[in-house]
Amino acid sequence: MRYDLNLLPIFVALLEERSVTRAADRLGMTQSALSNALTRLRTMLQDPLFIRERYGMRPTAKAEALAPALTSALAALDTVVLGQQAFDPSRADQLVTIAPNSYVEFVFVPALTARLRELAPGIRLRTLPFGADIAATGVTSGTTAMVLGRITDAPDNLVVQHIAEDGLACVVRADHPKVGTKITKAQYERMKHVNLLPAGGRLRAGLFQALERGGLKRDVAVTVTHFMSIPEIVAATDYCATLPKLICRRLAGDARLKVLPAPVDLGTFPMQMAWHVRYRHDPAHVWLRDLVAEVAGSL
- Grade residue 48 by pLDDT with cuts at 50, 70 and 90: very high
Q: Is 280 helix (H, G, I), strand (E, B) or coil?
A: coil
Report the pLDDT value the prediction gives residue 2, as an integer from 0 to 100.
65
Predicted confidence (pLDDT) at residue 25 exceeds the cutoff of 90: no
Whole-angstrom CA distances from 269 to 163, 213, 245, 249 are 11, 13, 11, 16
Report the pLDDT value the prediction gives residue 22, as an integer from 0 to 100.
82
CATH of the domain spanning 90-164+270-298: 3.40.190.10
Shortest CA distance to 168 belongs to which of 272, 269, 299?
Answer: 269
Report the pLDDT value the prediction gives residue 201, as an integer from 0 to 100.
53
Where do the structural domains in the chain lie, given as residue ranges?
Answer: 5-82, 90-164+270-298, 166-266
CB distance 233 to 239 below 8 Å? yes
CB distance 144 to 98 below 8 Å? yes
Report the pLDDT value the prediction gives residue 152, as an integer from 0 to 100.
85
Report the pLDDT value the prediction gives residue 123, as an integer from 0 to 100.
95
**236-257 mean pLDDT:** 94
Name every residue whose Cβ is closer than 8 Å to that of residue 221 and which is 6 or more positions away in sequence: 192, 193, 194, 237, 239
Enter the DSSP assignment of 238: S
Task: Look over the chain and give the mean of its residue pLDDT values, rounded to a whole number.
Answer: 88
Whole-angstrom CA distances from 232 to 115, 170, 194, 255, 257 are 30, 15, 11, 12, 10
Q: Name the fold adopted by 166-266.
A: D-Maltodextrin-Binding Protein; domain 2 (3.40.190)
Q: Of 108-117, 239-248, 274-283, which gets the smallest average pLDDT? A: 274-283
User: Most confidently modeled of 150-154, 221-225, 277-281?
Assistant: 221-225
Report the pLDDT value the prediction gives residue 131, as an integer from 0 to 100.
80
**252-276 mean pLDDT:** 93
Shortest CA distance to 140 belongs to which of 7, 23, 9?
Answer: 23
Shortest CA distance to 9 belongs to which of 24, 1, 19?
Answer: 24
Class of domain 5-82: mainly alpha
The reply to whether domains 90-164+270-298 and 166-266 share a CATH topology is yes
Report the pLDDT value the prediction gives residue 174, as an integer from 0 to 100.
96
- Grade residue 54 by pLDDT with cuts at 50, 70 and 90: confident
- Grade residue 292 by pLDDT with cuts at 50, 70 and 90: very high
Report the pLDDT value the prediction gives residue 82, as an integer from 0 to 100.
54
CB distance 267 to 210 below 8 Å? yes
